[in-house]
A and B are shown apart, each in its own frame.
Chain A
């Protein structure tokens, strides 16, 4: 379900996550380069070879996809070591599901049976064949809440898998689940060698065998993880790099220094304040990737003032998001037109809230609290941009009579106060993000009581919206979903059980001779595409 889990988890250690979503209105996510430097050498055909060092803000803690201990630090590594039957388009231009180990699949008319046809001659990274038995076993692991404990929400309607012949596996669902293919594109559904995992037990995860583009070689906790090319990877010719080394560098400035010194060729989580300086460096390219991530200000609707729709609308109009984007996010953020970051089916007919103090005051006057009130907003410590952002918000809300008291909390504490409903306003995560590029997950959290999160701990509820969301979640037909969602998008955005302050992108940077640094719609680096051009040619 969510990268929220990771962010919650891991995010604790997270430094400046520049995650976010951008609302380019194109409907898909795009990756655009903001630096001036482009390298002519990258225009040529990719060449094999080279070693890449990547300074990463999240540390990898475990290579076992069923135990995710450190969110993005672990998940990004799974994406290199393992493969799934289907995957999110790795080239990052849209959020389509494309073939992975399965070359094709059929869906029954009732949307409850999926038949997957495997590519011929698939092999794991140790050269052993990938069998239908491995596929069935791995899918059953995904479908078992005991094995797939942490991401059990993804299991959806999964019932069972059956081997039809050595290259065909059929999955039965208990009810049509529109998100099914997206769910099995996630890490708990990676395909693993059954016999080896069963024989080796815990030892398997020290030197795991998978079907991903790379093989994990050396893993030193707290320091680095190195990879080697998997010669049996199913996409012929990829990956291009011989080896890759991820250095865990949780401190933002330290990542930037690694990059500038040439010690690393790629760094993620670029602190916003460093973006302009890196853009000015002709040896570097700053890359911004639109992903479904946003700055979430949760509002406790049990506080009577915040339970008043007029007050929440007034807050939305009172926030000068253009200013916040310019000052805090150095212009890389985008003004939200949804309660969430940018997701599939979003319609740009829903417009962002403009900054309009007069309108904001009007809404305050219409509310029962026209004289204003005092509220406390909690935010996590350790993220440079939060101080600046919350101070701006404090000033802006003062204009409409809302006196904000700011309370800085340790990251785990901020999350706990939010999920324990002991708050008025709260930024539970440095950046909140979705694990799937479709709205099913988050719309469910806010609107569907059965999700068990009390409207994502806002205590907001609307039975009409709830019904629409449930219908949307159970509709397999894409065209119908594309019509259903914008209605829900607008309703949630207008009712604003919480405030989406800003859609924020992932910001990473790399050497100008590092080419094809694709990042998919969820922010995962697809390093099997990446190659290094000779410097002389630049």
Chain B
């Protein structure tokens, strides 16, 4: 088990290094000079040169890269020139709404998605099953941007249940302002949970040990909840872990629609302004989250399924 964990940690570090390098290269190679964006188009060449120097952009790219890696390793991302403040401070001020959105969104996804998946699996091929599949596929296919606006329109404007946008902290504030954004996120994720869980449940429900349980006279409810669900949920968690990257792109859109002061909208702004420090910090942070989540998913996986860690061991 220890070897397995060690191996996964090493791989994670390599992946993070790759993310850091790619981000650095991409943001430095796309057109758009941050100094010119900052100073406006009629800035004198001297002013641009001065700012380049302040930003360290007058050094060779290789040197900038090495410096960036050194700083990244010590979690120092310098100053954001867009906000004239330390990058770490700018980013940390924007994390709460995004973290809440992800947590709340996943909660709704699971609370609604798991029962739907069970229902679809036990009524396989029936009207309920087909209806659930149709609805979740539809909700997945619609762009979150559009879905967010529709929810704001229906539940916010028409039904007046929630504010159409904005963010308030505190439990009451979060429930009031984050329910619609979280629902939008959940609708985008729901199909993944329902589809996966449904198919693995169907598979498990047809397996020998479930037949054995039935033969012993256990009730169908107990079989599904205690035996089948436990064994099916592994795959679903793995998939949720691995789509974390996709989730981040959805967050940018949801935050824009609901005017949430989160890290997603900050990323968009940072890219538009070519704020290298800020883009790198945010990309690395989201990379870090994805890597950590997938590491934990794998470990969790290994804990409940001994075959995985044994396979790792034998290699």
Contacts and interface: CB of A to CB of B under 8 A. Distances in A.
B257 A254 contact: yes
Given A223-B261, A452-B42, A254 B37 contact: no
Contact of B36 (A222, A261, A416): A416
Nearest to A259: B164
Contact of A411 (B40, B167, B272): B272
Contacts, number: 124
B198 interface: no
Q: Which of B42, B47, B82, B265 has the most CB of A within 10 A?
A: B42
Contacts of B31: 410, 412-413, 416-417
B258 to A, nearest CB: 7
Interface string A1-24: 100110011001100000000000
B38 to A, nearest CB: 7
Going nearest first, the 6 A-B pairs with the smallest beta carbon separation are: A222-B261, A5-B40, A223-B261, A412-B32, A257-B164, A419-B41
A150 B36 contact: no
B163 A261 contact: yes
B119 interface: no
A164 B57 CA distance: 47
Given A253-B149, A263-B166, A9 B32 contact: no
B133 interface: no
14 contacts: A9-B40, A13-B269, A69-B84, A221-B261, A222-B261, A249-B259, A254-B258, A257-B149, A260-B164, A263-B165, A410-B31, A412-B31, A413-B30, A428-B41
Given A153-B42, A254-B256, A416-B31, A261 B164 contact: yes
B83 A221 contact: yes
B40 A8 contact: yes
Q: Which of A149, A254, A413 has the most CB of B within 10 A?
A: A254
Nearest to B45: A452
Interface in B189-216: none
Interface in A101-160: 149-150, 153
B156 interface: yes
A254 B33 contact: no
Contact of B156 (A9, A250, A261, A417): A261
A61 B44 CA distance: 24
Nearest to A428: B41
Nearest to A68: B40
Nearest to A250: B256
Interface in A388-417: 410-413, 415-417
A307 to B, nearest CB: 22
B274 A412 contact: yes
A251 B259 contact: yes
B20 interface: no
A369 B94 CA distance: 56
Interface string B147-188: 001001100110010011111000000000000000000000
B266 interface: yes
Interface residues of A, number: 46
Given A257-B157, A416-B31, A150 B261 contact: no
A61 B42 contact: no
Contact of B164 (A9, A149, A263, A415): A263
Interface in A407-443: 410-413, 415-419, 428
B15 interface: no
Nearest to B156: A261
B157 A222 contact: no
B32 A410 contact: yes
Contact of B152 (A1, A223, A257): A257
Given A8-B40, A257-B149, A416 B261 contact: no
Nearest to A67: B84
Contact of B82 (A1, A61, A258, A413): A61
Contact of A13 (B90, B93, B272): B272
B273 interface: yes
B273 A12 contact: yes
A300 interface: no
B261 A263 contact: no
B32 A254 contact: no
Interface in A53-70: 55, 59, 61-62, 67, 69
Interface string A436-457: 0000000001000001110000
A14 to B, nearest CB: 10
Given A8-B40, A220-B261, A257-B153, A412 B256 contact: no
A59 B269 CA distance: 10
B33 A248 contact: no
